[in-house]
Amino acid sequence: MRTTAILAAVAACLVATHSLGAEPVKVGRHVHLIQGFESKDVFASKENVSYLSGVPEDAEVEVWDTAVYGTRRFPVAESGIVCRITGKHASGGKAALEAKFTRADRALRISLRNNINQRGPDRPACNSMGCFDELIGDIYNASAKPVTVEMTMLGGFAVTDRARTFSLVRQLTLRPGPNTFTVTSQDVSATFVDPHDATCVEFRVPAKGGATLHFDNFRLERETIGANMAKLARCFDFGVSYFNWPGFTYGSVPWDAKRGFGFTAGDRLTHGADLHVINDQLTRDGFEAPASFRVALPNGRYRVVTRTGEYWAKRDGGRNIEIKAEGKRVYYRARMTGKQFNDFKYAHERTDHWKRGMDLWGTYEDGTYSRQIEFEVQVADGTLDLDFLIPPSADGKDHGRSTWNYLIVYPAEKEKLIRPEIGWLNEKLRTIYNKVS
């Protein structure tokens, strides 16, 4: 069985509870397996194992010389690390990667299979560190004594594989038996700035005598949405399908009565944004107005929460923006004046991109480039119809794009249950943006 055959995203149960003000918020957990070491296929040559890699690999598992990084594929007698797939000490599946370390100048490299914009039948939608909260892996120490391991996460953009690039280095002390390591995306961002550039992780045993270790169940984990939102709300994420926030339904599809949602009008439904400016799956993409979206709902009064935002060149300040719900206007923002448009703070990555401890989201995005829009609407015919419009100006000088990122619809009487979870989600977006921008 190919290792890639088991690279499916797995939705886990609700496990995390956060305090936001006086209201505790319980959210879900999403686990995405990136490497289970289930077959010898991990040693086979592959093209673009790590997209955007500054340190590209030929295969998912390799042995590298730490002094001369262009050297790999050693003869077995000289490799210094002998690897095989074995059923011993597997923690996630039926097999694990056994590595016998005998030389301190050799490192075992395991690809994170970072494939942001290069998808295929054997490649998951997206497994970049930038889209998750943590990288977690299991290591079994087969000896009777603790083993010290140097773990290095490598990455970078547009550099060769003959140099040691940006690296996050940690020393692990592995006790006898099972161990687990964790690297957070905040840790990665502190080193690489953009965690999308983290592409592989290396392990080296510096002590004489080496060690035998078993690696398994390398996975990426992230939080999803609140328990009440999952149960009571209809949540739609728009844009490209491979960047869907877990817990949200992918919404950029045509209306289908059996499915119960979709677009009845619109021809730019899969607009994506630049990864190096925004990182979360909700606000980095969306659909462009004009477009009309329909969702089947029981009759009643509903609260609608949506967000508009375009993070790259063509902001929406040069257009009139309007939403109609059930044929009635519920939101309108007029085109900005020339002065208002010029006063907007563009391209913050050129000025404050490298600053830490600054609320970039609050300064540059939330309420300006990115705006959360809310309104209530009465549904009386079994469907909610929303029209996202860009009414033309009299002078014909409109410019820019009106991009809408996501949609949350829930019964108005459930406001007290849902509101804290929307607050948690907004704080999550702010945290993600600030850590990578």
Q: How much is the pTM?
A: 0.85
* CB of 403 closer than 8 Å to CB of 3: no
Q: How confident is the model at residue 176 (pLDDT cuts 50, 70, 90)?
A: very high
Give percent helix, percent strand, percent coil of the chain, each to the nearest 5.
Answer: 15, 40, 40
Task: Tell whether the model's pLDDT for residue 192 goes beyond 80.
Answer: no
The class (CATH top level) of 233-436 is mainly beta
* CB of 410 closer than 8 Å to CB of 234: yes
Q: For the chain, how many helices (H) and strands (E)?
A: 5, 24
CA 60, CA 41: separation in Å to the nearest integer? 8
The more confident residue out of 282 and 211 is: 211
What's the pLDDT score for residue 5? 30
* CB of 195 closer than 8 Å to CB of 189: yes
Q: Range(s) for CATH 2.60.120.430 in the chain?
A: 3-222, 233-436
* CB of 275 closer than 8 Å to CB of 312: no
CA 262, CA 282: separation in Å to the nearest integer? 17
Task: Tell whether the model's pLDDT for residue 196 goes beyond 80.
Answer: no
Quick: pLDDT tens for 227-277: 999 999 999 999 988 788 999 999 999 999 999 999 999 999 988 755 455
What's the pLDDT score for residue 10? 41
What's the pLDDT score for residue 275? 47
Quick: pLDDT tens for 372-389: 999 999 999 999 999 999
What's the pLDDT score for residue 334? 93
Task: Tell whether the model's pLDDT for residue 209 goes beyond 50.
Answer: yes
The more confident residue out of 407 and 341 is: 407
CATH 3.40.50.460 fits 3-222, yes or no: no
> Look-up: residue for tokens 């009299």?
394
* Peptide bond before residue 254 is cis, with ω within 30 degrees of 0: no
What's the pLDDT score for residue 204? 96
